[in-house]
Structure 1
């Protein structure tokens, strides 16, 4: 049983969809929220808008007992809080949901040399262009897939990102080399009949539909394997590498926050922990004492 199967759930489901659409949630977020509210309906075997405080407590204990990970459980909490606050106006229930602490692991980051090898291992111009956008502009994989030809603003040297994470629009950077590559892809894609001025920048097998995020993930994994990169690599690895390399090159972290579209600075600050060149560039206060430049004391 899901939210679709309970009595009168059709209108409740539509209200939830309308509330998410009003806030410009992405299709993926809407799908995830519907699924997670459906988890509660399945557990209750009745409409989720009839849940009580005790129901929510039992539900969260049951989710933990079946072995759901902390990130998944917290994602369910986000979905249910939205449902209770915005769709059925029960913020008192939302406050009773428990969000678990989860130390965020450091992301895997490629070196600039590894990025070059990965991009060089792509098998066609479309794949090269798509992965170059992910790295060169720091876009999320869903943002790369959603780009349209018209989003490339060569006059202002920007990529328009519509409805990014949280439904927010923003401008991403468009470097000179990336523009050159995208123009090459436009010429080739237009010749093949798959690129159109009002269409997707990276169409799938059918030119009328965009490439899927799953396909982009496969492209990255296959390129990393061909390049002999042993690290666990996905599309988001290129975004992590973009941010880390900018930080190592001395770009202000607040600028990187804007480029990434992060709502909070502490999210961007994670990259300071993996910016190894930044760490190596700092002079230790011990070195400033210059105690050991000479012969020094004898061992023992």
Structure 2
């Protein structure tokens, strides 16, 4: 009898312990479910969580798709529609009513189409109403990101005083984006251990989009820029798991232990562009455009540049090529009207 009571108490203690831990360990979504999903039962709710939180791993894609689907479901709710009664006409009219750019409409249609595929799989709806809907034709021959010219990039680098650790940090960040064509997000993700010696050369290891890892050799001037920053910041022998580029305590010019985010780096670049009296429309991605265009202009094969840029498709690399799509002032001055 005593053993049975002890077992019961032990089980009760485990349950109590689990109950006490539950609020701290279980994470709930802050945003409520869309009304149509909530009204459609547990299968629809499961499909929602499966698609938003299970299938989409990239946080930026997840945010964009969730926003698009919520807007469409709100539109359907206003029309007094239920999920099984949504038709291709509803999807098409929704897109027609939106004053969005063609690329944005394509994103919304893609989000709706993939979400309803999940609803079909979970037997919430019979057919996907977005499957037969076509978006506007969109042919992109050149990216929208403005290119920073070689003289402008040199001017920006020369504008850095290089007198303290913040200047050295910013110079190293900008130089990495120029000399590796890395995305600002990949630069922000760098850890101290991602800059290492292979014996005959130093390399940087980037965590790129799609979970890919890329190792890029470091040229000698870039190597010096990084070491100047590490030496001044006392980070030569820092823990390999620590962030390579760190924030500062306001205007004290003292580094913290916190990593700079991609947003921090973008604001830093804007600040440096302003200080160098360069166009405000330029951005961190402008360095990537300039590097790719510069290499292609020198006759480097497209597939080699594609590999450096980390593109899966050469057509993506061509979007960064600004050699053949420039309209010069000399052309428009020759119009004889």
TM-score by length of 2: 0.67
| C-alpha deviation, 1:167, in angstroms | 3.4
CA spacing shift, 1:119–1:91, aligned 2, 3 Å: farther
Preserved contact between residue 119 and residue 223 of structure 1 (Cα < 8 Å):
no
Superimposed CA distance per residue, residues 71-111 of structure 1 (whole angstroms, 9 cap, x where no aligned partner): 22122233334334457538844533433323434542222
**Aligned pair 1:32/2:64, yes or no?**
yes
| C-alpha deviation, 1:124, in angstroms | 1.8
CA spacing shift, 1:59–1:230, aligned 2, 3 Å: same
**Aligned pair 1:113/2:145, yes or no?**
no
**Pick aligned residue for 1:188 from 223, 232, 238:** 232
Distance 1:239 1:74 in 2: 25
**Aligned pair 1:50/2:83, yes or no?**
yes
Superimposed CA distance per residue, residues 19-62 of structure 1 (whole angstroms, 9 cap, x where no aligned partner): 123xxxx322222222222222222239x9926562x5434433
Bigger Rg, which one? 2
Any stretches of 5+ residues in structure 1 without a counterpart? 277-300
For 2:209, the equivalent position in structure 1 comes to 165
Q: Would you say how many aligned residue pairs link Structure 1 and Structure 2?
A: 266
Instruction: For residue 319 of structure 2, give the secondary structure of its aligned residue in structure 1.
Output: helix
Distance 1:224 1:266 in 2: 30
Superimposed CA distance per residue, residues 183-216 of structure 1 (whole angstroms, 9 cap, x where no aligned partner): 22222333699x6421222234585653232222
Instruction: For residue 204 of structure 2, give the secondary structure of its aligned residue in structure 1.
Output: strand
TM-score by length of 1: 0.75
Tell me which moved more, 222-231 or 112-121: 222-231
Superimposed CA distance per residue, residues 137-193 of structure 1 (whole angstroms, 9 cap, x where no aligned partner): 11112222222222223316432222x233333334432222222222222333699
| C-alpha deviation, 1:236, in angstroms | 0.6
CA spacing shift, 1:198–1:87, aligned 2, 3 Å: farther
Preserved contact between residue 138 and residue 260 of structure 1 (Cα < 8 Å):
yes
For 2:107, the equivalent position in structure 1 comes to 75
